[in-house]
Amino acid sequence: MNPTGVSRSMQRRLVFVAGALFAAACRSAPAVPAGIAFVPGVRDARPPGPAPEGMVWVPGGRFWMGCEGCNLPDALPLHPVEVDGFWMDQSPVTNAEFTRFTEATGYVTVAERRPDPRDLPGVAPKDLVPGSVVFSPPARRFPGIRYVDWWRWVPGASWRHPEGPGSHLRGRADHPVVHVAFEDAEAYARWAGKQLPTEAQYEFAARGGLDRRRYAWGDSLAPGGRWAANIFQGSFPVRNAALDGFAGTSPVGAFPPNGFGLRDMGGNVWQWTADWYDPDAYKPLASRITRNPATPRPPDGSRGERAIRGGSFLCSDQYCTRYLVGSRGRGEPSTGASNLGFRLIRY
């Protein structure tokens, strides 16, 4: 039985894009590159002027970028990076903010449009309906890593209906907007006069002045016995114990800010960045100090995924540990999901 009313071939073709949000691997981490005279730190933290509404100043500085000892090969090798200062949204863009954008512009998101048949050759026209990918926990755990067991393409799912038809935004005005594709985030950025951060900007900001720490808040996952982010506790993907207070997205002010005053830099929702995703992007940067790096589209003929950051409420120590501050994720640009949002920067 197919509860969505969409053919199984359509389900498989569309759900696969969500699997990249949780890709993980195991490999020993190398030591810090030797022979580089590099002192990490934050520059003068004074902002250049009054803060734009809802934004905080992220001062420039130097840091070791990557995730040492995390068993995540695409976050290696650890390498020295310098970034200039910028303003950053204190929180991910919320449903209330995205509502103002759509009301002002009439913008229709990718999830609300009928898919282009050219993008999905072989899919029956009756199956080409608006929708998005929604987390749907199975009744039991399956052996191995099979993300298709907990992701489902749901016709009618969108930022307005996060779990599909019948769901709504009431009571979620201050939750992060989800089901936004990359072009949706870019459209909002143009309207707001801002832009998406690069991976380096996001990671430096997420660290909040703490260099080579595991999380955006330090080295303890639950400092003082209190959860510092909205992540998955329990038996993934079957049962979220919600020990942090939330089984789905949470209000953007639910957890303490990091050292720069930024919220939800780890957990709650994944966040788009401006960079293309390249699993080997760090390798050529290991032997020198790089200033304001950005990752171009890999020239290998790949699909062209975008880098995403921060992990989400579905990240668990049993499967996806991408709430680790130096970890990376990837997303297919034309597709959103029920745990994927964004935040913006301005110079």
Distances (CA, A) of 304 to 244, 279, 280, 296, 301: 35, 12, 14, 10, 8
Which pLDDT belongs to residue 319?
83
E-strand stretches of 186-289: 234-235, 239-240, 270-276
Residue 154 per-residue DSSP state: E
pLDDT exceeds 50 at position 3: no
Contacts of 57 (CB under 8 A, 6+ apart): 45, 47, 48, 51, 85, 86, 87, 260
How would residue 32 be classed by pLDDT, with cut points 50, 70 and 90? low
Average pLDDT value over all residues in the chain: 89
Which pLDDT belongs to residue 2?
40
Looking at residues 47-73, what average pLDDT do you find?
Answer: 95
Which pLDDT belongs to residue 9?
47
Q: What is the pLDDT of residues 166-180, one digit of tens each?
A: 999 999 999 999 999
Residue 99 per-residue DSSP state: H
pTM confidence score = 0.90
Looking at residues 200-229, what average pLDDT do you find?
Answer: 96
Q: What is the pLDDT of residues 249-304, one digit of tens each?
A: 999 999 999 999 999 999 999 999 999 999 999 999 998 999 999 999 877 656 68
How would residue 124 be classed by pLDDT, with cut points 50, 70 and 90? confident
pLDDT exceeds 60 at position 1: no
Higher pLDDT, 191 or 128: 191
Which pLDDT belongs to residue 301?
58
pLDDT exceeds 60 at position 11: no
How would residue 194 be classed by pLDDT, with cut points 50, 70 and 90? very high
Which pLDDT belongs to residue 5?
47
